[in-house]
Chains A and B, each alone.
Chain A
Amino acid sequence: MLSVKDLSMRFGGLVALDNVSLTVNEGEIVGLIGPNGAGKTTVFNLISRLYEPTGGAISFRGEDLLRLRPYQIVERGIVRTFQLLGLFPYMTVLENLMVGEHRDFSRNPLEVALGLSQARREERDRRAQALWLLRFLKMEALAEAFVFALPYGTQKLIELLRALLARPRLLLLDEPVAGMNAAEKAAMREFIKRINRDWGITIFLVEHDMNFVMGLCDRVIVLNYGRVIAEGRADEIQQNPEVIAAYLGEGVSIARA
């Protein structure tokens, strides 16, 4: 589904990614892990076209993504969340979710300005859709709350909901459980499994929490110093000496999982 080939990225003299190749198949949950500064988020930023790669190719369902502008990526079915939250702080939860539905708004500005009934109906329908999703998660009480006032974990979840409203085929999640407690993490894991299984959404995620990754992902790709050093099932990865070495360098053990 997603195929990254020989991707390289240099910032000035710094090599962030060095000939990275990886694939994500339809229906999978794939984890991208690695020590801090390994280049994980850079991979996401390249897929979502925020950066221009210095070399390599990215294709999605056979289409060359490098020919698209950042705002066109979502139309192809790739939606992402951000490591440091991509929510709009001065909007309410509901408004944030409705930005997720942006590409479903088709009425032109004149119809909107004049308040024509089609434009009003469109707004109402989209609002109902967003509210439905909130209600589905028993979060409708938060609809009118301003985002900046909510706990970090809740914000993370809302950003995920917003991404879902953009109707992804492939969802890129950048540290979806950062800042969450154990119960929230467990709930998030079940929720991601569910959207993958029931809604057929392919998941590609970056995460530091090894327990979380190991208990969720079908396949794990390990990045270190901008290169792929290992790839395989979660249990295989945990035995891989190169991976253990990379993490030992960071003083974090992954054997616990």
Chain B
Amino acid sequence: MIEQYIVLGLAQGSLYALMALGMVLIFKTTDIVNFGQADMTMFSAYVGFTLMVGLGWPFWAALPLVIAFGFLLGIVVERLALRPAQQAPVVSLLIVTLGVALMLNAIASWIWGFDPKSLPYAISGPPVVLGNIILTRHDLVIFGTTILLSVGFFALLKFTKIGTAMRAAAQNRLGAQLLGIPVHRINMLSWGLGVALGAVAGVLIAPLVFLDLYVMVFVMLKGFAAAVLGGFTSLPGAIVGGLLVGLFESLLIAVPFELVNQLKETLVFVLIVVLLAVRPQGLLGEPIHRRV
């Protein structure tokens, strides 16, 4: 029984991990916490809905387009909203991301209305039974996509020229600029990739819930919490944090007390705060040195 909860928790956690990865990527290169991640994810999921339900495309055909859409959305947001506001302090940029989120929310309501939508699973068919664990095929897709994306992502950062430039910009913006790295283009790229990661998470989550204008806010908050748990500047930390949050949440459901279930959201945060009190830099974050 407990294995089932663990596996389901990891599946849920993979989605938080993708969300967290997107937010960490944007934060690492631009210092901005993207509070619009939820609405960007929501919007991308709606695009997936139009492709898959409206036009009847199969999941595998729709996915690349959704990713491309997310990437483009990220780039547009960086170029049109954040770069013009770059003089403002970073806390203020948080409000800019929030403003963008509200605008996207409004546009989504004009196009798709307020009624919840349901999206199809990536693959339908009977569930897979492994010992005493039952998994839907969609769960397998979630695992597969998360692993693929994480590995691909680290390969991109580690082994490509653009990845090296991104890491350099994340570590020392001014230094990177002096070395001739086009920091603006790096910022745009981070936004593109960060939002695209959210878009993938969005089309994978949407079939598990009813897609509406607000459902992704909760996913984003978990993703944010996961990212912080992982250290907020660490990409592997984001994934570990996401999996842990999903796992913890799932195990809480297994606890047979009603109160625990009612306070599920709260307890996730309590866990994170307790963990952070013990390890203030997060699980995989670098220790914060006191600057004199």
Residues of A within 8 A of B (CB): 41, 45, 50, 82
Contacts and interface: CB of A to CB of B under 8 A. Distances in A.
5 contacts: A41-B292, A45-B292, A50-B290, A50-B292, A82-B292
A155 to B, nearest CB: 17
Contacts of A45: 292
Nearest to B290: A50
Contacts of A82: 292
Contacts, number: 5
Interface residues of B, number: 2
Contacts of B290: 50
Contacts of B292: 41, 45, 50, 82
Nearest to A82: B292
B185 to A, nearest CB: 31
User: Which 5 pairs, one residue from A and one from B, show the smallest C-beta to C-beta distance?
Assistant: A50-B292, A45-B292, A50-B290, A82-B292, A41-B292
Interface string B272-292: 000000000000000000101
Contacts of A41: 292
A82 B292 CA distance: 8
Contacts of A50: 290, 292
A50 B291 CA distance: 10
Interface in B234-292: 290, 292
A103 to B, nearest CB: 21
Nearest to A50: B292
Nearest to B289: A11
A40 B292 CA distance: 14
A50 B292 CA distance: 8
A49 to B, nearest CB: 12
A235 B206 CA distance: 80
A224 to B, nearest CB: 22
